[in-house]
Amino acid sequence: PSVLDSFALLSGQLNTLNKVLKHEKTPLLRNQVIIPLVLSPDRDEEIMRQTEGRVPVFSHEVVPDHLRTKPDPEVEEQEKQLITDAARISPDVAQKQIQSLNKMCSNLLEKISKEERESESGGLRQNKQTFNPADTNALVAAVAFGKGLSNRRPPGSGASVQSGQPGAGAIVAGASGMQQVPMTGAAAQQQPMLAGVQMAQAGQPGK
């Protein structure tokens, strides 16, 4: 009942207002000019509250923009030109243009949504971990400190080194043997390197 009473009261007031406005003695509001009575460069909290924070002050700079009832002359001319051009287009052509514009907009929206999905999936791929930290730490420890490596020499390693290179028997025989065995130029160039490898294996059997 209270809502119906309030609605009836508002309806009666609106009807009374319409009667006053439609009266022949009431001047047309479109012919009336709004004149600001108070202009102040200071911040007005009441205007801030009424405009939801959009207009902090009511000064001579903002009054022409907020009390303007017509657009700028340039904008008005452009609007008239657009209205004239639109009146010349037939309904069929206008419908085709509308359909083509809608198609372009839908394609653009699909591309934008596709880019967003790809960027989101790319971000997920970048954030996804692609390695095992435990394996990485074990590998670094094995390479740097030899942790977890076996001390036993694989069988046949010495024979493969000795049999794979020419003149290896002379290298194993010692320094006196190397001086007594004649070698070619290529074998002589490989001799110091092989001797160094063989001496390193003999001095450090575990590595």
Q: Which two tokens stand for residue 118?
A: 């790809």
**Which pLDDT score is estimated for 27?**
81
Alpha-carbon distances, residue 87 vs 31, 80, 93, 104 (angstroms): 29, 11, 12, 24
Mean pLDDT of the region 98-127 = 87
- pLDDT band at 36, cuts 50/70/90? confident
Residue 183 confidence (pLDDT) above 80: no
Express each pLDDT in 42-66 by its tens digit.
888 988 898 888 888 888 888 888 8
Neighbours of 191 (CB within 10 A): 19
| Average pLDDT over every residue of 174-195 | 45
- Tell me the DSSP string of 100-162: HHHHHHHHHHHHHHHHHHHHHHHHHHHHS--S-HHHHHHHHHHHHH-TT---SPPTTHHHHHH
When pLDDT is cut at 50, 70 and 90, the band that residue 35 belongs to is confident
Among residues of the chain, what percentage have pLDDT more than 70?
69
Q: Write down the mean pLDDT value for the chain.
A: 76
14 torsion bin: left (phi>0), alpha (psi -120 to 50), beta (else): alpha
Q: What is the mean pLDDT of residues 19-34?
A: 82
Domain limits, the chain: 71-120
* Whole-structure pTM value: 0.27
Angle at 56 between CA 55 and CA 62, to 5 degrees: 55
